[in-house]
Amino acid sequence: MLIDLCELSPSYVRSIAPYQPGKPIAELAREMGIDEAKIVKLASNENPRGIGPRTRAAIEAAIADIARYPDGNGFELKQALAKRYGVDMASLVLGNGSNDVLELVALAFLGPGRAAVYSQHCFAVYPLATQARGARSIVVPAKDYGHDLEAMARAIDDETYVAWIANPNNPTGTFVKAEGIEAFLRRVPERVLVVLDEAYNEYLPHELKADSARWVKRHPNLVVTRTFSKAYGLAGLRVGYALAHPSVADVMNRVRQPFNVNSMALAAAAAALDDMEFVARSYAENLQGMRQLEEGSTSLGLEFIPSHGNFITVRVGKASEIYKRLLRRGVIVRPVGGGYGLPEHLRVTVGTAQENDRFLGALAASLKD
Ligand SMILES: Cc1ncc(COP(=O)(O)O)c(C=O)c1O
């Protein structure tokens, strides 16, 4: 072959650094010859509680209709979400995970000659989605590991159409209070879509939870995204959504694939949304696990970034080396050097009390190796 086929894609696509997911348990088992049952994975901010019985029953019931295409409009799930948030169904966009919804924003509103603004240490999908559309990235230095919204507002130029904000942020767990978000919304030009990614919203204490749906009604340029992957325990099924002004939701819906959310995911999400007790327990257990990891890190003499999510980012020194030592002990966490710019930290998902213990024990040993 005379041509390099890779060269056929636009240069902005070729220069994308691939997303690095958490290492799968089966892969580590294969590589190290460790029994899968002995591996602890705290690398992808999943819910260690799994799913509740009502959600499981809904998934099982959905099998009967699996030969049919799903409802491309996701009517039942949208109806339940519309009721929950007091919004019109036309304000909702469903996605194959909230990643899909983020991609839809980029697809609908970014392109060559346009720019998106985001923070240093932000969620990896923002640079990825921006670059894949040939749009320019405006990266603003973080303040105390979190979003510096004033600096982000100042960095917006005439070509900026999107501002990506995760609140709480992944991988740092930092959080901007409602006043900060409101001030940012007042300040940015109406042309700029503010994407407020609330993937970890359910892990916030009640007093920090903002009424995001009300914000969306007040600010037509605000898109709020949420997911069923975290507190609802449905990461493997892939379902997330956006709340947006109907005209914004309309263009996002035009560029999505007709059946982007599968029927099992739709049924599971509708059931999970109803199971408030499961989410409340997930919240409470996460809080306990977080304290366990905070205290464990402190007793090992390690600093951590105070987190509002279901994960904690701990400063361990030579993180890439400690990561490998943990792998050898059957514990998978997430290194956040590389694209995230935190080479001395490891991000650890809050697991069950037992999993957290395993991690802390393995960490203590790995620091001594
Ligand atoms: C901040 C943030 N947004 C969005 C997502 C995407 O989650 P999903 O596509 O599973 O909904 C994640 C996943 O880790 C995340 O951390």
Mutational pocket test of ligand 1: of 99, 336, 340, the residue with most ligand atoms within 8 Å of the beta carbon: 99
Q: Which residue CA neighbors atom 12 of ligand 1 most closely?
A: 199
Q: If you average pLDDT over every residue of the chain, what do you get?
A: 96
CA of 228 to the centre of ligand 1 (A): 9
Sheet bearing 160-166, strands edge to edge: 92-95, 240-243, 222-227, 193-197, 160-166, 115-119, 136-140
Q: What pLDDT score was predicted for residue 107?
A: 98
At 11, list the tokens.
Answer: 């240069």
CA of 99 to the centre of ligand 1 (A): 6
Q: Is 123 in the pocket of ligand 1 (CB under 6 A)?
A: yes
Contact call for residues 28 and 330 (beta carbons, < 8 A) = yes
Q: Is 98 in the pocket of ligand 1 (CB under 6 A)?
A: yes
pTM of the shown model: 0.96
CA of 172 to the centre of ligand 1 (A): 13
**For residues 128-137, average pLDDT:** 96
Q: For residue 37, is it left (φ>0), alpha (ψ between -120 and 50) or beta?
A: alpha
User: Is 15 a residue whose pLDDT tops 90?
Assistant: no
Confidence of residue 20 (pLDDT cuts 50, 70, 90): confident
Which atom of ligand 1 approaches the CA of 309 most closely? Answer: 16
**For residues 228-249, average pLDDT:** 98
Q: Is 235 in the pocket of ligand 1 (CB under 6 A)?
A: yes
Q: What pLDDT score was predicted for residue 338?
A: 86
Determine phi and psi for 234, rounding to 5 degrees: -115, 35
User: Is 18 a residue whose pLDDT tops 90?
Assistant: no
Please name the residues in contact with 90: beta carbons below 8 A apart, sequence gap of 6 or more.
246, 249, 250
Q: How many CB atoms lie within 10 A of CB 276?
A: 9
Which atom of ligand 1 approaches the CA of 238 most closely? Answer: 10
Mutational pocket test of ligand 1: of 19, 103, 198, 227, the residue with most ligand atoms within 8 Å of the beta carbon: 227
- Indicate the length of the chain as a whole number: 369
Please name the residues in contact with 290: beta carbons below 8 A apart, sequence gap of 6 or more.
307, 310, 312, 350
Q: For residue 238, is it left (φ>0), alpha (ψ between -120 and 50) or beta?
A: left
Amino acid at 209: K
Which atom of ligand 1 approaches the CA of 169 most closely? Answer: 1
CA of 107 to the centre of ligand 1 (A): 18
Q: Is 97 in the pocket of ligand 1 (CB under 6 A)?
A: yes
Q: Using a pLDDT cut of 70, give the percent of the chain over it.
A: 100
CA of 93 to the centre of ligand 1 (A): 16
Q: Using a pLDDT cut of 90, give the percent of the chain over it.
A: 92
CA of 2 to the centre of ligand 1 (A): 40
CA of 299 to the centre of ligand 1 (A): 30
Confidence of residue 339 (pLDDT cuts 50, 70, 90): confident
CA of 365 to the centre of ligand 1 (A): 31
Q: Is 166 in the pocket of ligand 1 (CB under 6 A)?
A: yes
